[in-house]
Amino acid sequence: MPAAAGPVVLVSMPFMAADRPSIQLGLLAAVARAHGFAARTLHANLDLAAQLGAERYGLLAEHRGPLIGEWLFSVEAFGAAAPDPRGRFPARFADDLGYLGESGETLLDLRRHAVPAFLDGLLEAVPWQEAGVVGFSSTFQQNAASFALARRLKRRFPHLFVVVGGANFDDEMGPELLRGVDAVDAAIIGEGERALPALLTALADGGDLATVPGLAHRAGERVVVNPPAAPAVLDELPPPDYSEYFTRAEQLGLLRRAAHRAVWIPFESARGCWWGQRHHCTFCGLNGATMRFRAKSPQRLLDELAHQTRQYRSFRFEAVDNILDMRYLREVFPRLIEDGAGYEIFYESTAMLTRAQLRMLARAGVTRLQPGLESLSSHVLGLMNKGTTAARNINLLRWARYYGIDVAWNVLWGFPGETAPDYAGQAAIVPHLRHLQPPGSAGRIWLERFSPLYTQTSVRHPESSYSYVYPRSVDLQRVAYFFEWEQPAPLPDAAYDELRTAIAGWSTAWAAGPPPALTYWSSPGFLQVHDGRRPGHEGTYTFQDTLAEIYLACADRPVTATAVREKLSADVPAGAVREAFEQFSERGLMVLDGGRALALALPAVPGR
């Protein structure tokens, strides 16, 4: 197929975030080049961000429910078959779209004028006539924009071979979208590092697409899916090449040209989820096809960070991993500390990190962490299969605060089996946690494809905004990732009101000025706790001897009364220790969880 033998252009469309490069594009371009193919990348999302303004684009790129980004491109993607030509979407989802600060008219104007102009501009952004293959990477709300550009390209440059890939095409989603979108020639299902070079080879050689692993393609009227490739070996992958992102972002004025950059560079140190392999969190739909955990070797990772820093002059790194490899706590972070590396790093992690581990992460430069806390109820955490407890979650928040790690987390509800007391209990705890970082949001879980809840739910419907995006000819049950579901015996929404209000107050307290404080000073047999959590009610608690020892025995992690008793200098019955727990708890100085007690105050002296 000589027409497809030209260079490959890899494209990332809106609404991918524009403030950092696409690791998908950076990695696949480097892989293609390593196999001898000419490849370039087009971060087309940057063009729309420049056109709309970074702030407006950033809001549209946030995914908060209805598929606003997909709807904006739907008419351009599907033409007369688009389901909402008159634009009823903004009114239908007005309550959910309030965060945008846009009227229905401005959104319609965006759809009717700005989007077509943006797409027309892209036809001139690249010498498409010289290209042979166009590859679109699509995750979350990038489908309609990708199909819209593919449609225009196919009209103007019919020789182009259009392939799509990414999480939006996992499993049955890929074949169904290929069946329903004429402008797309093939879809890579699953990992692309082996499939893309194989596809480029097949196209260049005029070979048979049936030889390309993991490829969905048309065979007459049918869509055929080839057997998948073996999983990629992460150490064998080249570092992602982000050069074109920086060039374009600077050209468009989205990034200032500077010797030093502060962009968060995406890197991948692991794929899959070691926790999910054994205990799949019930709500989690990530890793549809790639749950098996694999990680780069420590040296390979350290080399990549050093290489990328030199290459792009930024010391900020964002891991795209689903979960931190615990081996790195022994073999990577100590090395970063020894080397004196000055990185700032973001990671997603398990919530089961100890004080010592958090201290090490902080010293190694992990300034941002997303530990998947999800709840402050041990019962609800059990229903989620999270493997952690409320006290452990709170303890992580404590030591993260102490060591200066910013924690991104949410409170989730809506799990089968939960009870009203689960939420009343959380609402009662929250006022005592005001010195710790509040959740970014609190709300009902979404039913995600591939999650255990999805598998277990028989009555489910694609989230309602899908029907405003895709033509009726597309089977939404097969292409949707988010679903609405009929939960057996759900709690009424009012069951969450008290917790919702408590969390709002928590967030307000943090936004108002310096975060509230609850700190302690201690010497042998003497303890003072300063409570500054509630303005107007500040004060100092003073405890001596056994009480001071009991409190300090619970300061590191949640412990039982029996364990505390063994640490005390006097022989105190466990019942008396439990009574002390209750008294500390009544004053909001401890949380009690399943027989364990955790002191809430943090050491006043920093950095230990």
Partner 1 sequence: MAEVQISDDDVRGLAEALDRLELPDAQRALLTAIVALGTAAIDQANESLVVDVDPVPSFHAQFAGAFTPERFESAEAVASGVKVDRVTRLMRIGRH
Residues that bind partner 1 (CB under 8 A): 435, 514-517, 519, 530, 532, 537-544, 546-547, 570-573, 575-576, 579-580, 583, 587, 603-607
Report the candidate in 346, 298, 345 with the shortest Cα–Cα distance to residue 326.
298
Q: Is the peptide bond before 15 cis (omega within 30 degrees of 0)?
A: yes
Alpha-helical segments (H) within 132-171? 143-156
| Nearer residue to partner 1 within complex by CB, 524 or 606 | 606
The residues, any chain, with a CB within 8 Å of residue 428's CB and separated by 6 or more, are: none
CB 185 within 8 A of CB 212: no
CB of 546 to partner 1, least distance (A): 6
- The span from the CA of 306 to the CA of 316, in Å, is 11
**CA distances in angstroms from 74 to 145, 172, 250, 275, 309, listed in the order given:** 8, 21, 29, 37, 39
CB 293 within 8 A of CB 277: yes
| Nearer residue to partner 1 within complex by CB, 152 or 578 | 578
Identify the bridge partners of residue 528 per DSSP, sorted by sequence position.
Answer: 521, 542
CB of 605 to partner 1, least distance (A): 5
CB of 364 to partner 1, least distance (A): 20
- The span from the CA of 145 to the CA of 95, in Å, is 24
One DSSP character per residue, 81-141 reads G-S-TT--HHHHTTTTSGGG---HHHHHHIIIIIHHHHHHHHTTTS-GGG-SEEEEE--ST
| Nearer residue to partner 1 within complex by CB, 157 or 541 | 541
One DSSP character per residue, 522-565 reads EETTEEEEEEESSTT--EEEEEEHHHHHHHHHTSSS-EEHHHHH
Going through 210-275 in order, the beta strands assigned E by DSSP cover 215-219, 222-225, 261-267, 270-271
**Cβ neighbours of 523 (radius 10 Å):** 8
| Nearer residue to partner 1 within complex by CB, 439 or 516 | 516
Report the candidate in 573, 520, 522, 574 with the shortest Cα–Cα distance to residue 544.
522
| Nearer residue to partner 1 within complex by CB, 79 or 524 | 524
Backbone angles phi, psi at 112, to 5 degrees: -85, -25
| Nearer residue to partner 1 within complex by CB, 222 or 537 | 537
| Nearer residue to partner 1 within complex by CB, 174 or 516 | 516
Residue with token string 């899916």: 225
- The span from the CA of 296 to the CA of 173, in Å, is 29
Cα 388 from chain centre: 20
CB of 545 to partner 1, least distance (A): 8
CB of 544 to partner 1, least distance (A): 7
| Nearer residue to partner 1 within complex by CB, 71 or 402 | 402
Report the candidate in 399, 473, 470 with the shortest Cα–Cα distance to residue 435.
399
One DSSP character per residue, 56-85 reads HHHHHHS--SS-HHHHHHHHHHHGGG-S-T
- The span from the CA of 184 to the CA of 370, in Å, is 36
CB of 532 to partner 1, least distance (A): 5
CB of 393 to partner 1, least distance (A): 21
Report the candidate in 371, 343, 352, 316 with the shortest Cα–Cα distance to residue 335.
343
| Nearer residue to partner 1 within complex by CB, 351 or 397 | 397
CB of 506 to partner 1, least distance (A): 15
H or E, element range at 502? helix 497-511
CB of 273 to partner 1, least distance (A): 34
| Nearer residue to partner 1 within complex by CB, 206 or 606 | 606
The residues, any chain, with a CB within 8 Å of residue 62's CB and separated by 6 or more, are: 99
CB of 529 to partner 1, least distance (A): 9
CB of 203 to partner 1, least distance (A): 59
| Nearer residue to partner 1 within complex by CB, 155 or 587 | 587
- The span from the CA of 389 to the CA of 279, in Å, is 15
CB of 477 to partner 1, least distance (A): 51
CB 343 within 8 A of CB 309: yes
CB of 543 to partner 1, least distance (A): 6
- The span from the CA of 567 to the CA of 561, in Å, is 10
- The span from the CA of 54 to the CA of 254, in Å, is 7
CB of 608 to partner 1, least distance (A): 9
| Nearer residue to partner 1 within complex by CB, 485 or 584 | 584
| Nearer residue to partner 1 within complex by CB, 228 or 532 | 532
H or E, element range at 315? strand 314-319
| Nearer residue to partner 1 within complex by CB, 507 or 519 | 519
CB of 538 to partner 1, least distance (A): 5
| Nearer residue to partner 1 within complex by CB, 227 or 539 | 539
